Each structure stands twice: as C-alpha cells, then as structure tokens.
Amino acid sequence: MFEAKGIAFILLDIACLILGGLPLAILKLGKVRPYQRGFFCQDDSIRYPFHDSTITSTVLYTVGFTLPIVSMLIGEWLTVHLNRSKPSSPFSKSFLVAVYKAIGTFLFGAAMSQSLTDIAKYSIGRLRPHFLDVCKPNWTQINCTVGGYIENFSCGGNTRLSNEGRLSFYSGHSSFSMYCMLFLALYLQARLTASWARLLRPTLQFFLIAASVYTGLSRVSDYKHHWSDVLVGLLQGALMALLVVFFVSDLFKKKEEAVKPEEISHASFVESPTNGNFESPN
C-alpha cells in the first residue's frame, strides 16, 4: 500500500510538471503566431542590425540544466553520506528520494518560468531591436510621410526570423539564466553550511549571479532585446526561484523541525548561578 501511495504521488508530480510546461509546449510546438504589433517609422530602437547571439540557446540550456542538476546530485549524495554512520550507496533509497525532491522541484520551477516567459512574449509581441533588419518590409508600400503608426505591412525576409523578431518582451535568456543560477545559489546556501565554506559559498554564489547578469546584458549588446526586456526577465527569474525554493522545496524546512517533547522538558529548567540548583526560568 505504501508503494502504491508513493507511485501515486510520483504520477501526480509528473502531471504537475507537464501542466507547468504545457503553455510552453503549446506555444512552441503549436506554431502559434505572436501578436502582430506595428511600428512607427521614426522608431530607431528597432533599426539595429541582426547579430548572432553571444550566449546561444544551446549553451544557455546546456549549462542552465547541467550545472544545477550535477551540483544537486553531488550535494544530495554528500548530505546523505555525511548524515549516516555508514557510507551510503549512490543508489540508496534516501539518496534517490533526496535527489527526486531537489531536481524535481528545480524542473517544475523551470517549466513554469519558461511558460510565463513565452506567454508574455506571444501575448505582447514587442519588436526586437533588429526587427526591421530581419523583417525587411516593402518600404514602397509604406507611407512614412504621415508619421503615423504602421500596421498594414508584410515582411519580405525570413519568416522564422521575422516571427522571432516579435518576441522581445521579455527576455527568455534572462529569466531562465536567473532562475537556474539563483536556484543553485540558494541550494548552496542550504547545503554548503560547513565552517570552511564561509567565504567559498558567497564567492560561488556571486559568480553564479554574475553569469546570469552577463547573459542578460549580452542580449542588449547583441541587439536581441531592449534593456527593459532584460530587466523584467531577470526579475521574473529571480522571483520564480525564490517562490519555488521557499514555498515548494524543502531546502530550508529542516531548520523548522519541531522540538522533541523531552527536549522541551529539559529546556524548561536552567541551573541557578547562585545555589547550583535547577529552577524554572520564570
């Protein structure tokens, strides 16, 4: 019965993970067109040239998933190993449960973070700084002399790049990198508690957050996003990481374990400094 109950919980977790990533899957795999926003002819913020990404999507997702997951595998094994009197097997039940909780929570938050990002992207359809360069509208059919808002136009450039050019707000690179790196930084805060790590821990955390910020800044210098897209992306990723770590995971909940009754009874008496007897602190 216990095993059946455990399997039911696992299936429920998988269902929640799928639901968390469902909007992302629908928008990406369903070939949904982003909101068709127009532009002003005088808007110089969308006239930048198209550049290749400094941090490609392949690098982003490889590092974003691999670094936290490998760190959690090592961290959970060390935690289980050091809390046992005998060395634990890498495949012990307690280790597998700990890894399942840590990595499962991380993936759940990542799915929701990316879903929220793409919902905003496709709903708002803000034009990227390089939009006109990839769209290549037919200027002969556009009257810019009136200085109005141009909505009726068609792109003559690559269709995929033109559609991608409408997904500026907010930055997915920024939100994903900040979520992954802040989640890992908070994981280190919860697990790397040895006295010898009092400077090592904040140093590692600094470089994790710095890597995320650099990723966001590179999106501005590559003309992929406006600065406000990056700022909102970083804030959204940070907020999601904080919510998942403190309200979904149990990384910091061990510090809130209930005190045993015998410990309460023992703590209710203190030794009197005057006569050596035990008396109530009240």
Q: How far apart are the first and last CA of the chain?
A: 49
**What residue type is assigned to position 7 of the chain?**
I
Q: Provide the residue count of the chain.
A: 282
Catalytic residue, chosen from 81, 225, 226, 266, is 225
Reduced to 3 states, what is the DSSP secondary structure of residue 174?
helix
Q: Do the beta carbons of residue 75 and residue 193 sit within 8 Å?
A: no
User: What are the backbone angles phi and psi of residue 28, rounded to the nearest 5°?
Assistant: -80, -50
Q: What's the token pair of residue 273?
A: 């400094």
Quote the CA–CA distance of 130 and 44 in Å, as a whole number.
10
Catalytic residue, chosen from 51, 130, 173, 266, is 173
Quote the CA–CA distance of 36 and 189 in Å, as a whole number.
44
Reduced to 3 states, what is the DSSP secondary structure of residue 169?
coil
Residue 51 designated active-site: no
Residue 266 designated active-site: no
The set of catalytic residues is 173, 225
